[in-house]
Amino acid sequence: MAPILSLPTFADAAKGISVSPLTSNISFGHSMLKYFSFEPGYINLNNGSFGSLPKPVAEFCVQHAARVEANPDRYHRLEFAELLTAARARVARLIGADTDECVFVPSTTAGINTILRNIEWSSGDVIIKFSTTYQGVERVARYIADTHSEVTLSTMELTFPISHQEILKRFREHVVGVKASCQRSSRIYAIIDSVVSHPGVALPWKKMTQLCREEGVCSIIDAAHSIGQEIDIDLASAQPDFWVSNCHKWLFAKRGSTVLYVPKRNQHIIKSALVTSWDYPSPKDSPPAVYDTGFVLQHEWPGAIDFSPYLSVCAAMDFREKIGGEQAINEYCHKLALEGGRRLASVLGGCALDESPSTELTLNMVNVQLPLPPTPSKELRGKIESFLEHELLRTYNVSSVHFFHGGSWWVRCSAQIWNEVSDFEYLGNALNKACQEARSKFFAD
C-alpha cells in the first residue's frame, strides 16, 4: 500500500527555495522581494487591495493540491475536515476567539452576505452604515433594503481627517438619533469598518462596538484589513456581534481565504451558510435536528471546492513567524507608512491625511493628497481614476489606489515588508507626471 502523503509543512513548502535568511538575520525592505513572485521592476504599494502570496505559501498550496489528487477519496472523506479544524484553530488563536466561533468563507463580502441574509428582518429595522463603507458591502446593505421594504438604511457621514474621539462622539449622537426615530420594537444594526478602505484609515472599532452594546445595537464589523495589519485584535474582549476579515490581504494567505467570526451567543441567527448544502438543519426535518444551526458544520462542506486557500493560513502564519512575527512585521510596516507618506507628500507638494501627533488613523496604509483640482462630477472622477490607474501600471509599473474624498484627490499606499522609502519617492515622481497629464486632459478649459 502506498504511504499516506503528509500535509506539507512550511519546511516542505520551502524546498527548492532559498529560505536560509528566514532562520538567521532578517532584513525587511527590498531584500524580502526574493520571497515573492513579483516581476522585475514592479513596485507594489497596493498590497491592501489584493494581497501578495509568499513563495513558500504558494509552494504549500501546490503540494497540498498534489496531496488531494494523489487520492481524492481519502482526502475528502477522511482527511480534509481535520486539516480545516486545525486551520480554524490557528487563526482563532491569532484573533483571540474560540475555534468553534470561526469558520472560513471566500471573501469579506461573502461573510457580510452570510450575516445580513440570515437576519430575520422586521418592520422598523434599521441598518446604520457610513459614507465611507466599502462599496461592495454597502451594496449588500442596499440589496437588503431593496428586498425588505420594512428595512431602512441610515448613513452617517465621515470626512477625514477626523479624530477618534470625534468619531465616537458623532457615532453616539447618530445612534441615539436613530433610536429616537424608531419604534421600541425596532432593531438597529451597525456595519462598522475596523479599517476604512478609502481612505485607508483605522477606526476606533472596539470602542464603537462597546457603544453599540451599551445602546442595544447589533455590531457587524467589516474587518477586511485587520488580520495581519492590526495587533491584539482579541475578539473575546472586544465582543462584536459579528466580525469578518480577509486573510489574503495582510496575512499572506492565498486569495479566497476569509475568517467569519460569530460568537456562540449569535450562532442561532446564522441558520444557513451562504451556500446551503448537506448540513442545513431544517426545522421540518423528521426527526428535527437536535443540535443548533450547526454553524461550523454548515461551513465545513460547501461542496467539492479547493480548500487550499483556507488551509494556507497555517503556511502564511509559519512564514510570518519565521521572518520575525506579527509585532516585528507591523512595527516595520507602520514606521514605513509614516516615513514613506512624509516623503511622498514632499515629492507631490501636498500633505498626508493623518498628520496628527498621535497618528491614530494610520496603521500600515498612508493617504497623501494629489496635485489635482476638485472634481464634483462623479463621471469625471471615474475617468480620472481609470486614467491614473492605467498610466501608473502601464507606463511606470507601480501600483497604488487613487480616490476622491472630502473635496480632494488622494493616493493610498500600503507599506509592506518588501517596500522601502525609495518606492514612495518613485511613486511620487510617477504621480507628478501622471497628474500633470490628467490636468491637461481633463481640466484643459
Specify the residue for cell string 504621480. Answer: 431
Between CA 273 and CA 201 the distance in angstroms is 31
Domains annotated for the chain, with CATH where assigned, are 83-316 (3.40.640.10), 326-442 (3.90.1150.170)
CB 27 within 8 A of CB 419: no
- Tell me if residue 69 falls in helix, strand or coil: helix
Condensed to tens digits (0 to 9), the pLDDT of residues 371-388 reads 999 998 999 999 999 999
Q: Give the separation between CA 202 and CA 225, rounded to whole angstroms.
A: 9
Least confident of 42-56, 186-200, 278-292, 430-444: 278-292
Helices in 182-307 by DSSP H: which ranges?
205-215, 235-238, 295-300
Here the contacts of 70-79 (C-beta below 8 Å, separation 24 or greater) are 70/5, 71/4, 71/5, 74/4, 76/304
Residue pLDDT, tens place only, 331-375: 999 999 999 999 999 999 999 999 999 999 999 999 999 999 999
Residue type for position 121: W
Question: Considering the chain, what is the average pLDDT of its residues?
Answer: 93
CA 197 to chain centre: 9
Mean per-residue pLDDT, 154-175: 98
Per-position b or e across 206-234, b if 16+ CB within 10 A of its CB:
bebbbbbeeeebbbbbbbbbbbbbbeebe
More confident residue, 15 or 423: 423
Bridge partners of 149, per DSSP, are none
Q: Which residues lie closer than 8 Å to 315 by C-beta, 6 or more apart?
A: 8, 10, 13, 56, 57, 60, 61, 253
- HSE, side-chain direction, 13 A CA sphere, residue 92: 18
Which run of H or of E encompasses 369?
A: strand 365-369
Judged against a pLDDT cut of 70, whether residue 6 lies above it is answered with: no
Kindly report the pTM of this predicted structure.
0.93
β-pair partners for 402: 411
Of 20-29, 204-213, 381-390, 427-436, the poorest mean pLDDT is in: 20-29
Running DSSP on this structure, what letter comes out for residue 264? G
Helix (H) or strand (E) holding 412: strand 408-414
- DSSP assignment of 91-154 equals HHHHHT--GGGEEEES-HHHHHHHHHHHS---TT-EEEEETTS-HHHHHHHHHHHHH-TT-EEE
pLDDT at 289: 59
Residue 361 identity (one-letter amino acid): L
- Per the listing, cell 490628467 goes with 438
At 339, list the grid cell. 516615513
Q: Do the Cβ atoms of 46 and 423 come closer than 8 Å?
A: no
Confidence of residue 293 (pLDDT cuts 50, 70, 90): low
Is pLDDT of 409 > 80?
A: yes
154 within 8 A of 127, measured Cβ to Cβ: yes
C-alpha cell at 409: 484627490
Cβ(437)–Cβ(391) under 8 Å?
A: yes
- The predicted pLDDT at position 421 comes to 99
